[in-house]
A and B are shown apart, each in its own frame.
Chain A
Amino acid sequence: MKKNKITSLFNEKLKVINIGLESFAENLKKEDTSVIQVEWSPPAGGDKEMASILDMLAD
């Protein structure tokens, strides 16, 4: 059942939300696929020390 859903998804016109790396969205756009780009990056740009301090200071 699940497999069928995935198969049917790829047979439909795709609407994509891309989170993070923008180049994925750009590639899809080149293929005329509708994409909404969500800007996202890991907390503190992936700096583990800062991310752990921020965790400690979370509300």
Chain B
Amino acid sequence: MSISEANKEAVKRIQNAEPELIGIGTASKDLPDMEDKMILHAGPPVEWEDMSGPMKGAVIGALMYEGWAENEDEAEKLAESGDIIYDSCHHHNAVGPMTGIVSPSMPVWVVENKSYGNKAYCTLNEGLGKVLRFGANGPEVIEKLKWMENTLAPILSDAIELAGSISLKNITSQALHMGDEVHNRNKAGTSLFIREITPYLLETNHSNKDLSDVVEFMAGNEHFYLNLSMPASKATMDAAHGIEESTVITALARNGVEFGIRVSGLGDLWFTGPAQKIDGMYFPGYSQEDACRDIGDSTISETAAVGGFAMAAAPAIVGFVGGDVNDALEFTENMYEITLAENENYSIPYLDFRGTPTGIDVRKVVETGILPAINTGIAHKDPGVGQIGAGLVDPPKNCFEDAVRAFAKKYK
């Protein structure tokens, strides 16, 4: 197969993907190769000693949540003891926003790509502010995670069972027409999901109080849909991964220290460079000096033709990540220069319903020097603080060049 044919196949699989929510599982039972005493994290592999502040904070929180440590000191000792196995979410068909920490007891969305049969997983979104994914780990954080495990997840699981499955491709395509770009703006996606799930929630036998808490929790968190769109993107891109000779990028991910990419024709290799500082809008009292470097698996969105690549669909997002409406348009327009196709399912009303830029070709990134457009949340650099803003960030150029070199070495 030539590069051109391989890329056509990769794009076909992206276009034909049918990611559907089929249930809620548990990380220990559902994630492939998940082991006891294993903690998954966002981005390319990183060990405890090299982790960023918020990732360390989230690991400490997860160890307390699992009951493996009574307090922060005990958790820190355990974290550095060598008894915990750390691994990348991506190695277990999973993705996680920001620190992306997944521990065995956590409930996970199960998304199946109905066209190709592969599954992807993600934890449920906790909301904004002091939450584990931004490195916060106080008692209120752990308490919320327990409520999510014991109340939220079982109730939603029952509702999904009644629904059979929910098409995430449909929700994402509608949300793009309602002003979301489905990465940092998920107001429409969250609303659409609530509209979809609520009739089934009402059919379950749970108490009115619990149902009310569940709906209130979802409605109070504009990013609730992010943790569904991310595994939908992951399930889409995993189907396009592993095609010999394909130069399509199938993952962009950051761990707070390194930014990493994977390329379809290059197997499970990561190509990494230093994670960058984020040019963004900071919450009152915070500045770039307080910020952790770029972190999270949510850039799976951009590989799957949404997020920064669909900014032109979401002019209102500039109030959250910075820039102006023309910047949002320009971001999307530039991305057509480094992609292979226009999306057949996701389109942008303002661009006369042009399909979003689809299938990043690593060769085009290097040839044009145009880097994938990424918008992202910003975590505080210290553990336990949480989110301090949102903004725009460039990936490091060298990881794309290294991937092209490796590709030439393998195939030519």
Which of A's residues lie within 8 Å of B, judged by CB?
41, 43-45, 50, 53-54, 56-57, 59
Query: Contact: B369 with A59, CB < 8 Å?
Result: no
What is the 8 Å Cβ interface bit string for chain B, positions 237-261, against chain A (1 contact, 0 not)? 0000000000100000000000000
Measured CB to CB, the nearest residue on chain A to B411 is A57
Set of chain A residues within 8 Å of B344, measured between Cβ atoms? none
Measured CB to CB, the nearest residue on chain A to B409 is A53
Indicate if B405 sits at the interface (CB-CB under 8 A). Answer: yes
Interface class of chain B by DSSP: helix
Indicate if B379 sits at the interface (CB-CB under 8 A). Answer: no
Decide yes or no: A50 and B366 within 8 Å by CB, A56-B408, A57-B412 being known contacts.
Answer: yes
Minimum distance in angstroms from B405 CB to a CB of chain A: 6
Query: Contact: B412 with A54, CB < 8 Å?
Result: no
Indicate if B287 sits at the interface (CB-CB under 8 A). Answer: no
Set of chain B residues within 8 Å of A45, measured between Cβ atoms? 369
Set of chain A residues within 8 Å of B404, measured between Cβ atoms? 50, 53-54, 57
| Among candidates B3, B366, B408, B412, residue contacting A59 with C-beta atoms closer than 8 Å | B3
| Among candidates A41, A43, A53, A59, residue contacting B405 with C-beta atoms closer than 8 Å | A53
Set of chain A residues within 8 Å of B367, measured between Cβ atoms? 43-44, 54
Minimum distance in angstroms from A51 CB to a CB of chain B: 8
Query: How long is the Cα–Cα vector from A44 to B411 in the complex, in angstroms?
Result: 20
Interface class of chain A by DSSP: helix
Query: Contact: B401 with A59, CB < 8 Å?
Result: no
Measured CB to CB, the nearest residue on chain B to A56 is B412
Set of chain A residues within 8 Å of B411, measured between Cβ atoms? 57
| Among candidates B2, B4, B369, B408, residue contacting A53 with C-beta atoms closer than 8 Å | B408
Indicate if B381 sits at the interface (CB-CB under 8 A). Answer: no
Query: Contact: B363 with A54, CB < 8 Å?
Result: yes
Indicate if B331 sits at the interface (CB-CB under 8 A). Answer: no
Query: Contact: A57 with B363, CB < 8 Å?
Result: yes
Indicate if B407 sits at the interface (CB-CB under 8 A). Answer: yes
Query: Contact: A59 with B4, CB < 8 Å?
Result: yes
Which of B's residues lie within 8 Å of A, judged by CB?
2-4, 247, 363, 366-369, 401, 404-405, 407-408, 411-412
Query: How long is the Cα–Cα vector from A57 to B71 in the complex, in angstroms?
Result: 54
Set of chain B residues within 8 Å of A57, measured between Cβ atoms? 3, 247, 363, 404, 407-408, 411-412
Query: Contact: B412 with A50, CB < 8 Å?
Result: no
Query: How long is the Cα–Cα vector from A41 to B408 in the complex, in angstroms?
Result: 23
Set of chain A residues within 8 Å of B405, measured between Cβ atoms? 53
Measured CB to CB, the nearest residue on chain A to B7 is A59
Set of chain A residues within 8 Å of B401, measured between Cβ atoms? 50
Query: How long is the Cα–Cα vector from A56 to B411 in the complex, in angstroms?
Result: 10
Minimum distance in angstroms from B139 CB to a CB of chain A: 51
Minimum distance in angstroms from A34 CB to a CB of chain B: 22
Measured CB to CB, the nearest residue on chain B to A52 is B408
Set of chain B residues within 8 Å of A50, measured between Cβ atoms? 366, 401, 404
Query: How long is the Cα–Cα vector from A41 to B366 in the complex, in angstroms?
Result: 12
Query: Contact: A44 with B366, CB < 8 Å?
Result: yes
Set of chain A residues within 8 Å of B412, measured between Cβ atoms? 56-57
User: What are 5 A-B interface contacts by the 8 Å CB criterion?
Assistant: A44-B367, A50-B366, A54-B366, A54-B404, A56-B412
Query: How long is the Cα–Cα vector from A44 to B398 in the complex, in angstroms?
Result: 12
Query: How long is the Cα–Cα vector from A10 to B401 in the complex, in angstroms?
Result: 45
Set of chain B residues within 8 Å of A56, measured between Cβ atoms? 408, 412
Query: How long is the Cα–Cα vector from A28 to B301 in the complex, in angstroms?
Result: 42
Known interface pairs A44-B369, A50-B366, A59-B3; 14 further A-B residue pairs with C-beta atoms within 8 A, sorted by A's residue number: A41-B368, A41-B369, A43-B367, A44-B367, A53-B405, A53-B408, A54-B366, A54-B367, A54-B404, A56-B412, A57-B3, A57-B247, A57-B404, A57-B408
Q: Which of B366, B404, B405 has the most CB of A within 10 A?
A: B366
Minimum distance in angstroms from A17 CB to a CB of chain B: 19
Measured CB to CB, the nearest residue on chain B to A51 is B367
Minimum distance in angstroms from A38 CB to a CB of chain B: 13
Q: Which of B408, B411, B412 has the most CB of A within 10 A?
A: B408
Minimum distance in angstroms from B394 CB to a CB of chain A: 14
Measured CB to CB, the nearest residue on chain B to A59 is B4
Minimum distance in angstroms from A7 CB to a CB of chain B: 39
Minimum distance in angstroms from A32 CB to a CB of chain B: 25
Measured CB to CB, the nearest residue on chain B to A49 is B405
Set of chain B residues within 8 Å of A54, measured between Cβ atoms? 363, 366-367, 404
